[in-house]
Amino acid sequence: MKFDLTSTKRMGRMALIVAGIAMVAVSCKKKDLQAPPAGEVLIEEYCSGPDFFSDNKFFRSNGIGESMDQATAKKKAFSNARADLASAVNTTIKGTIDNYVNSREFNNVEEVEERFEGLTREVIDQELKGTKTICQKVVKVTETGNFKYYVAIELSGQDMLTKMNERLGDDERLKIDYDYEKFKETFEKEMEKLREGN
């Protein structure tokens, strides 16, 4: 059998390249698994992150509650999440009303705006009771023995729009000038800002 030095060199080079690629891949993987720098602790926050951000279809928020009593921790978490959700909804509705009213030609803009805000506040209060829980986790804090509750909730933007339309469309003072399609378009633009803000 004749020994071919050229093909042996080629195979040797190939083996070195493959080994080099494997070492780089393992090195990258190890970096991902490394502990945080000294003095820092990596904390995983449940029910949080991109899957729980508001978007152009849903208002979403999360909350954390801690207590010696598990039921109290849960109540605190839901209370915090609902407060954040109410704030996001109110901001979006306020933007919708401001932009909608300013785009229309109403005789008394200030009165119309107040009327819209009053009616939509009623809807918001009712709809916030119908939030959907999309995540909940409970842990026991080893140092204190306290319970820590994590929750994420959501509210459909479409359901909110439908309920607002029903309420605004029934109002005798607004019925004459109320344009649902224009209001819907304005509301959807405000919902889009939620998605872009994340």
| Rounded distance between C-alpha atoms, residue 122 and residue 167, angstroms | 9
> Is 188 a residue whose pLDDT tops 70?
yes
165-180: per-residue pLDDT in tens?
998 888 887 777 788 8
CB-based contact 67:80 (threshold 8 Å): no
Spans of all domains in the chain:
50-196
| Beta strand pairing call for 58-67 and 147-156 | antiparallel
Q: Tell me: pLDDT of 64 over 70.
A: yes
Q: Considering only the top CATH level, what class is 50-196?
A: alpha beta
Residue 156 scores a pLDDT above 90: yes
**C-alpha–C-alpha distance, residues 34 and 27, integer Å:** 11
Kindly report, residue by residue over 82-105, the tens digit of the pLDDT. Answer: 999 999 999 999 999 988 888 877
| Sequence-ordered strand ranges (E) for the chain | 58-67, 132-140, 147-156
Tell me if residue 56 falls in helix, strand or coil. coil
Position 92 scores a pLDDT of: 93
What torsion, rounded to 10 degrees, do the Cα atoms 100, 104, 108, 112 define? -30
pLDDT at 10: 60
In a 3-state reduction of DSSP, which class is residue 100? helix
- Residue 54, phi then psi, degrees to nearest 5: -65, 150
